[in-house]
Amino acid sequence: MPRKLAAGNWKMNGLRSSLVEIQKLAERHSDTSVDVLICPPATLIEACRGLLFDIGGQDCHTAQSGAHTGDISAEMLSDAGATYVLTGHSERRTDHGETNATVAAKSQAAYDAGLTAVICIGETLAEREDGTTLDVIDQQLAQSVPDTATADNTVIAYEPVWAIGTGKVPSSDQIAEVHSHIRARMLDRFADGADMRLLYGGSVKGSNAAEIFSIANVDGALVGGASLKADDFSAIINALEES
Protein backbone atom coordinates (compact mmCIF):
# COMPACT_ATOMS: atom_id res chain seq x y z
CA MET A 1 0.00 0.00 0.00
CA PRO A 2 1.36 3.44 -0.88
CA ARG A 3 1.86 5.81 2.05
CA LYS A 4 -0.87 8.41 2.35
CA LEU A 5 0.09 12.00 1.55
CA ALA A 6 -1.70 15.29 2.25
CA ALA A 7 0.02 17.96 0.17
CA GLY A 8 -0.71 21.69 0.33
CA ASN A 9 0.21 24.03 -2.51
CA TRP A 10 0.15 27.62 -1.31
CA LYS A 11 0.69 28.94 -4.86
CA MET A 12 1.60 32.68 -4.81
CA ASN A 13 0.26 33.18 -1.29
CA GLY A 14 1.99 33.52 2.04
CA LEU A 15 4.20 35.97 3.92
CA ARG A 16 6.37 35.27 6.97
CA SER A 17 3.32 36.03 9.09
CA SER A 18 1.59 33.02 7.46
CA LEU A 19 4.09 30.57 8.97
CA VAL A 20 1.95 30.55 12.08
CA GLU A 21 -0.54 28.41 10.12
CA ILE A 22 2.10 25.71 9.62
CA GLN A 23 3.13 25.93 13.27
CA LYS A 24 -0.50 25.45 14.34
CA LEU A 25 -0.84 22.50 11.99
CA ALA A 26 2.37 20.93 13.31
CA GLU A 27 1.12 21.23 16.88
CA ARG A 28 -2.20 19.59 16.03
CA HIS A 29 -0.71 16.77 13.97
CA SER A 30 2.50 16.04 15.83
CA ASP A 31 1.68 12.32 15.87
CA THR A 32 0.08 12.12 12.42
CA SER A 33 0.01 8.73 10.72
CA VAL A 34 0.12 10.24 7.21
CA ASP A 35 2.77 12.22 5.34
CA VAL A 36 2.12 15.95 5.21
CA LEU A 37 3.78 18.19 2.64
CA ILE A 38 3.56 21.97 2.43
CA CYS A 39 4.70 23.77 -0.71
CA PRO A 40 4.95 27.43 0.32
CA PRO A 41 6.32 30.17 -1.94
CA ALA A 42 10.09 29.77 -2.37
CA THR A 43 10.70 32.78 -0.11
CA LEU A 44 9.42 30.80 2.89
CA ILE A 45 11.11 27.43 2.32
CA GLU A 46 14.19 28.20 4.40
CA ALA A 47 12.01 29.50 7.25
CA CYS A 48 10.15 26.17 7.31
CA ARG A 49 13.33 24.20 8.08
CA GLY A 50 12.91 22.03 11.14
CA LEU A 51 9.13 22.03 11.06
CA LEU A 52 7.42 18.70 11.44
CA PHE A 53 6.34 18.40 7.82
CA ASP A 54 7.99 17.87 4.48
CA ILE A 55 8.49 21.09 2.55
CA GLY A 56 8.42 21.41 -1.22
CA GLY A 57 8.98 23.90 -4.00
CA GLN A 58 6.25 24.72 -6.50
CA ASP A 59 8.46 24.58 -9.60
CA CYS A 60 12.09 24.15 -10.60
CA HIS A 61 14.23 24.80 -13.66
CA THR A 62 15.44 21.97 -15.90
CA ALA A 63 19.05 23.00 -15.11
CA GLN A 64 20.72 23.10 -11.69
CA SER A 65 22.42 26.46 -12.27
CA GLY A 66 23.13 28.97 -15.01
CA ALA A 67 22.01 32.17 -16.66
CA HIS A 68 18.27 31.89 -16.03
CA THR A 69 17.22 35.12 -14.32
CA GLY A 70 14.38 34.70 -11.87
CA ASP A 71 14.38 30.90 -11.91
CA ILE A 72 15.16 28.47 -9.12
CA SER A 73 16.81 25.07 -9.44
CA ALA A 74 16.00 21.78 -7.76
CA GLU A 75 19.44 21.86 -6.15
CA MET A 76 18.65 25.28 -4.65
CA LEU A 77 15.32 24.02 -3.31
CA SER A 78 17.09 21.09 -1.72
CA ASP A 79 19.75 23.39 -0.28
CA ALA A 80 16.99 25.52 1.30
CA GLY A 81 15.46 22.45 2.98
CA ALA A 82 12.89 21.18 0.47
CA THR A 83 12.50 17.46 -0.16
CA TYR A 84 9.75 17.67 -2.79
CA VAL A 85 8.90 19.86 -5.78
CA LEU A 86 5.73 20.18 -7.84
CA THR A 87 6.27 19.81 -11.58
CA GLY A 88 3.79 20.42 -14.39
CA HIS A 89 1.10 22.11 -12.33
CA SER A 90 -1.60 23.25 -14.77
CA GLU A 91 -0.94 26.87 -13.85
CA ARG A 92 2.65 26.39 -15.04
CA ARG A 93 1.53 24.51 -18.15
CA THR A 94 -1.05 27.21 -19.00
CA ASP A 95 0.62 30.42 -17.83
CA HIS A 96 4.18 29.53 -18.79
CA GLY A 97 3.65 27.25 -21.77
CA GLU A 98 5.26 24.22 -20.14
CA THR A 99 5.08 21.14 -22.35
CA ASN A 100 5.14 17.51 -21.26
CA ALA A 101 8.80 17.40 -22.33
CA THR A 102 9.60 20.37 -20.06
CA VAL A 103 7.80 18.68 -17.19
CA ALA A 104 9.80 15.48 -17.72
CA ALA A 105 13.06 17.46 -17.78
CA LYS A 106 12.12 19.33 -14.59
CA SER A 107 11.15 16.05 -12.90
CA GLN A 108 14.52 14.55 -13.88
CA ALA A 109 16.25 17.65 -12.49
CA ALA A 110 14.32 17.06 -9.26
CA TYR A 111 15.51 13.43 -9.07
CA ASP A 112 19.09 14.49 -9.79
CA ALA A 113 18.92 16.89 -6.81
CA GLY A 114 17.49 14.17 -4.56
CA LEU A 115 13.96 15.61 -4.51
CA THR A 116 10.67 13.79 -4.97
CA ALA A 117 8.70 15.21 -7.90
CA VAL A 118 4.94 15.61 -7.60
CA ILE A 119 4.10 15.43 -11.30
CA CYS A 120 0.75 17.06 -12.08
CA ILE A 121 -1.51 16.00 -14.91
CA GLY A 122 -5.15 16.54 -15.79
CA GLU A 123 -7.58 17.32 -18.58
CA THR A 124 -9.28 20.62 -19.46
CA LEU A 125 -13.05 20.99 -19.48
CA ALA A 126 -13.08 20.84 -23.30
CA GLU A 127 -11.14 17.56 -23.23
CA ARG A 128 -13.50 16.13 -20.60
CA GLU A 129 -16.50 17.13 -22.71
CA ASP A 130 -14.92 15.71 -25.88
CA GLY A 131 -14.48 12.36 -24.14
CA THR A 132 -10.69 12.44 -24.54
CA THR A 133 -9.76 12.55 -20.85
CA LEU A 134 -8.02 9.17 -20.74
CA ASP A 135 -6.13 9.87 -23.97
CA VAL A 136 -4.86 13.15 -22.51
CA ILE A 137 -3.87 11.40 -19.29
CA ASP A 138 -2.04 8.70 -21.27
CA GLN A 139 -0.11 11.25 -23.25
CA GLN A 140 0.79 13.31 -20.18
CA LEU A 141 1.94 10.22 -18.27
CA ALA A 142 3.96 8.88 -21.20
CA GLN A 143 5.66 12.19 -21.89
CA SER A 144 5.88 13.91 -18.47
CA VAL A 145 6.98 11.01 -16.26
CA PRO A 146 10.67 10.10 -16.80
CA ASP A 147 11.69 6.46 -17.25
CA THR A 148 13.78 6.91 -14.10
CA ALA A 149 10.67 7.45 -11.94
CA THR A 150 10.20 5.22 -8.89
CA ALA A 151 7.69 5.09 -6.07
CA ASP A 152 10.28 6.88 -3.92
CA ASN A 153 11.05 9.81 -6.20
CA THR A 154 7.64 10.34 -7.82
CA VAL A 155 4.09 11.19 -6.82
CA ILE A 156 1.42 11.62 -9.52
CA ALA A 157 -1.23 14.28 -8.89
CA TYR A 158 -4.39 14.08 -10.99
CA GLU A 159 -5.87 17.57 -11.14
CA PRO A 160 -8.66 18.16 -13.67
CA VAL A 161 -8.01 21.74 -14.79
CA TRP A 162 -11.71 22.55 -14.57
CA ALA A 163 -11.80 21.55 -10.89
CA ILE A 164 -8.92 23.76 -9.74
CA GLY A 165 -10.12 26.67 -7.63
CA THR A 166 -13.64 26.40 -9.05
CA GLY A 167 -15.49 24.48 -6.35
CA LYS A 168 -16.38 21.89 -9.03
CA VAL A 169 -15.33 18.35 -8.18
CA PRO A 170 -15.61 15.35 -10.52
CA SER A 171 -17.95 12.58 -9.42
CA SER A 172 -16.43 9.73 -7.42
CA ASP A 173 -16.86 7.50 -10.49
CA GLN A 174 -14.95 9.96 -12.64
CA ILE A 175 -12.09 10.16 -10.12
CA ALA A 176 -12.08 6.38 -9.71
CA GLU A 177 -11.90 5.84 -13.48
CA VAL A 178 -8.92 8.14 -13.95
CA HIS A 179 -7.04 6.93 -10.87
CA SER A 180 -7.47 3.29 -11.79
CA HIS A 181 -6.26 4.15 -15.30
CA ILE A 182 -3.17 5.91 -13.92
CA ARG A 183 -2.45 2.98 -11.60
CA ALA A 184 -2.65 0.54 -14.51
CA ARG A 185 -0.24 2.64 -16.57
CA MET A 186 2.20 2.92 -13.64
CA LEU A 187 2.02 -0.85 -13.08
CA ASP A 188 2.71 -1.44 -16.79
CA ARG A 189 5.71 0.83 -16.75
CA PHE A 190 7.37 0.62 -13.33
CA ALA A 191 8.25 -2.40 -11.18
CA ASP A 192 7.09 -0.52 -8.07
CA GLY A 193 4.06 1.13 -9.72
CA ALA A 194 1.78 -0.36 -7.05
CA ASP A 195 3.51 1.79 -4.44
CA MET A 196 3.53 5.03 -6.40
CA ARG A 197 1.33 7.58 -4.64
CA LEU A 198 -1.57 8.97 -6.67
CA LEU A 199 -3.09 12.22 -5.36
CA TYR A 200 -6.35 13.84 -6.39
CA GLY A 201 -6.37 17.66 -6.60
CA GLY A 202 -9.06 20.21 -7.41
CA SER A 203 -11.39 21.91 -4.89
CA VAL A 204 -10.63 19.43 -2.08
CA LYS A 205 -12.10 20.68 1.21
CA GLY A 206 -12.80 19.30 4.64
CA SER A 207 -16.39 18.69 3.56
CA ASN A 208 -15.57 16.46 0.56
CA ALA A 209 -12.25 14.95 1.62
CA ALA A 210 -13.61 11.79 3.26
CA GLU A 211 -15.59 10.85 0.16
CA ILE A 212 -12.59 11.48 -2.11
CA PHE A 213 -10.25 9.45 0.14
CA SER A 214 -12.66 6.51 0.05
CA ILE A 215 -12.07 6.10 -3.70
CA ALA A 216 -9.76 3.26 -4.77
CA ASN A 217 -6.25 4.33 -5.80
CA VAL A 218 -6.57 7.77 -4.20
CA ASP A 219 -3.61 7.93 -1.83
CA GLY A 220 -4.09 11.53 -0.74
CA ALA A 221 -4.70 15.00 -2.07
CA LEU A 222 -2.95 18.02 -3.54
CA VAL A 223 -4.79 20.92 -1.98
CA GLY A 224 -4.67 24.58 -3.01
CA GLY A 225 -6.97 27.09 -1.33
CA ALA A 226 -7.89 24.87 1.62
CA SER A 227 -4.21 24.38 2.58
CA LEU A 228 -3.69 28.03 3.47
CA LYS A 229 -5.44 27.94 6.84
CA ALA A 230 -4.54 25.42 9.55
CA ASP A 231 -8.20 24.76 10.41
CA ASP A 232 -9.12 23.91 6.81
CA PHE A 233 -6.06 21.78 6.06
CA SER A 234 -6.32 20.07 9.42
CA ALA A 235 -9.81 18.78 8.52
CA ILE A 236 -8.37 17.26 5.33
CA ILE A 237 -5.47 15.64 7.20
CA ASN A 238 -7.96 14.20 9.71
CA ALA A 239 -10.05 12.75 6.88
CA LEU A 240 -6.95 11.17 5.33
CA GLU A 241 -5.88 9.70 8.67
CA GLU A 242 -9.32 8.15 9.09
CA SER A 243 -9.56 6.80 5.52
Ligand X SMILES: O=C[C@H](O)COP(=O)(O)O
Question: What is the rounded distance in angstroms from the CA atom of residue 91 to the CA atom of residue 84?
Answer: 18
Question: Could you tell me if residue 165 is left (phi over 0), alpha (psi between -120 and 50 degrees) or otherwise beta?
Answer: left
| Residues of this chain that bind ligand X (CB under 6 A) | 9, 89, 159, 164-165, 201-204, 222-226
Indicate the residue among 40 and 224 with the shorter CB distance to ligand X.
224
Q: How far is the CB of 159 from ligand X (least distance, A)?
A: 5
10 is in an annotated binding site: yes
Question: What is the rounded distance in angstroms from the CA atom of residue 88 to the CA atom of residue 152?
Answer: 18
Question: What is the rounded distance in angstroms from the CA atom of residue 225 to the CA atom of residue 137?
Answer: 24
Active site residue 91: no
229 is in an annotated binding site: no
- CB contact at 8 A, 5 and 34: yes
Q: List, in sequence order, the alpha helices (H) in 145-195.
A: 172-189
225 is in an annotated binding site: yes
Phi, psi of 60 (to 5 degrees): -145, 165
Give the Cβ contact number of residue 82 at 10 Å. Answer: 30
Q: How far is the CB of 67 from ligand X (least distance, A)?
A: 29
Coil, strand or helix at 144: helix
203 is in an annotated binding site: yes
Handedness of CA 39, 62, 141, 146 (dihedral sign): negative
Indicate the residue among 146 and 202 with the shorter CB distance to ligand X.
202
9 is in an annotated binding site: yes
Indicate the residue among 75 and 119 with the shorter CB distance to ligand X.
119
Indicate the residue among 190 and 213 with the shorter CB distance to ligand X.
213
Query: Which is the catalytic residue, given 29, 89, 98, 127?
Result: 89
Helix (H) or strand (E) holding 145: none
Q: How far is the CB of 144 from ligand X (least distance, A)?
A: 15
Active site residue 68: no
168 is in an annotated binding site: no
Query: Which is the catalytic residue, given 21, 75, 91, 159?
Result: 159
Q: How far is the CB of 88 from ligand X (least distance, A)?
A: 11
Q: How far is the CB of 192 from ligand X (least distance, A)?
A: 25
Indicate the residue among 9 and 73 with the shorter CB distance to ligand X.
9
Q: CA-CA distances (angstroms) from residue 115 to 50, 57, 155, 186, 210?
A: 17, 10, 11, 20, 29
Residue number of the CB atom closest to ligand X: 224
Residues of the binding site: 9-11, 165, 203, 224-225
Active site residues: 89, 159
Residues of the binding site for substrate: 9-11, 165, 203, 224-225
